[in-house]
Amino acid sequence: MLTVRAPATSANLGSGFDVFGVALGTPADVVRVERAPETRISITGAGSQYIPEDPKQNTVGAVADALDAPAHIKIDKGVRPSSGLGSSAASAAAAAVALNALYDRGLSREELVPIAAEGEALVSGEAHADNVAPSLLGGFTVVTDDDVTQVDAQIPVVACLPEQSVSTRDARGVVPDSATLEDVVDTVGNASTLTVGMTRNDPELVGRGMNDAIVTPRRTALIDGYDDVREAALEAGATGVTVSGAGPGILAVCHQQDQREIAGAMVDAFEDIGIDCRAYQTHVGEGARLYRD
Ligand SMILES: Nc1ncnc2c1ncn2[C@@H]1O[C@H](COP(=O)(O)OP(=O)(O)O)[C@@H](O)[C@H]1O
Ligand SMILES: N[C@@H](CCOP(=O)(O)O)C(=O)O
């Protein structure tokens, strides 16, 4: 039996749609695997009642298929599905690391990225790798069609998860087909600023580089209370706030000393409109970790 803990992630960071992602210190999924003639899945934990155990519909089943590695797979969900915190990706990344080791496939973490992304294709319609890459590699990742670049960053964040669900598949449906040159130029500038901020561990630059006028405005409309929560977080000292992944999670970047106040402000702002939420006071963290029992 092998066990892997794979972290939640926050994709896009505003200006890096389908490109940027960060691993979060908490929450995480824990996946246990043992060899079996055919794949069987059992699920416990956060939101497990909404996740299919059929391997043809579960991200870990797609990974087992891609690695030709049938197994009994037990998933303990720390990351609620349809969260914007890479729930489906955390399971897929954990399964990729676990099954790669269980069957001695010898693939590197980078080589596991497209395999874990097969799970994302299953649930969201496209094999976007911006959640599985940071869950596998940790830190801040930049994915392109055929490559992934990673940097270890130490940035404090608050990931606020309201009691609402937004499916990534639905949220991809509102993404515009085209953008003006002016918006593209702005976005390139912001994305570049954010990347420099990650390499310098500078929350000011990262926060400033999160603005995006192309995808994010379409998605905020799907999240009840988004504008109020964003405003509250900025007033409490956040250096930048945006939709986490496809939502409804909201990500605030900050300095360590402001983290607690920002988390409280975001929770209060959601509560003011009658929505419960959980705020993870965490940081950009490590990737999937393998334990041999
Ligand atoms: N192992 C898994 N973990 C979480 N969700 C899964 C898993 N396998 C399949 N799903 C399905 O994926 C969808 C959630 O994924 P998605 O919409 O991308 O949200 P998230 O942002 O939380 O990853 C749900 O329909 C869920 O049933
Ligand atoms: N780039 C994807 C990221 C989806 O992240 P998730 O955590 O909501 O699954 C997108 O924006 O569609």
| CA–CA distance, 40 with 60 (Å, rounded to integer) | 10
Decide whether any atom of ligand 1 lies within 6 Å of the 86 Cβ: yes
Give the per-residue pLDDT at 165. 87
* Under 8 Å between Cβ of 103 and 115: no
The CATH-assigned architecture of domain 2-151+285-292 is 2-Layer Sandwich (3.30)
Give the per-residue pLDDT at 265. 98
Q: Is the previous residue joined to 70 through a cis bond, with omega within 30 degrees of 0?
A: no
Q: What is the pLDDT of residues 14-53, one digit of tens each?
A: 999 999 999 999 999 999 999 999 999 999 999 999 999 9
Report the amino acid identity of residue 24: L
Residue 181 CB-density burial (10 A; 0-12 exposed, 13-18 middle, 19+ buried): exposed
Give the per-residue pLDDT at 220. 95
H/E element holding 124?
helix 109-124
Q: Where are the domains of the chain?
A: 2-151+285-292, 156-283
The token pair that represents 19 in the structure block: 């490109």
ipTM (interface predicted TM): 0.97
Which positions ≥6 away from 137 have C-beta within 8 Å?
23, 109, 110, 113, 148, 150, 287
Q: 78 pLDDT exceeds 80?
A: yes
Q: Tell which residue, 17, 8, 55, has the closest CA to residue 171.
A: 17
DSSP symbol at 74: E
| CA–CA distance, 63 with 122 (Å, rounded to integer) | 10
What's the gap in Å between 128 CA and the centre of ligand 2?
A: 8
What's the gap in Å between 99 CA and the centre of ligand 1?
A: 19
Q: In degrees, to the nearest 5, what angle opens at C-alpha 25 toward C-alphas 91 and 163?
A: 70
Give the per-residue pLDDT at 127. 85
> Which residue has the least CA distance to atom 18 on ligand 1?
168
Q: Does the annotation count 286 as an active-site position? A: no
Q: What is the pLDDT of residues 181-237, one digit of tens each?
A: 999 999 999 999 999 999 999 999 999 999 999 999 999 999 999 999 999 999 999
Decide whether any atom of ligand 1 lies within 6 Å of the 135 Cβ: no
The token pair that represents 126 in the structure block: 């496209």
Give the per-residue pLDDT at 236. 98
* Under 8 Å between Cβ of 259 and 156: yes
Could you tell me the maximum CA-CA distance found in the chain, to the nearest angstrom? Answer: 56
Q: Does the annotation count 168 as an active-site position? A: yes
Fold of 156-283: Alpha-Beta Plaits (3.30.70)
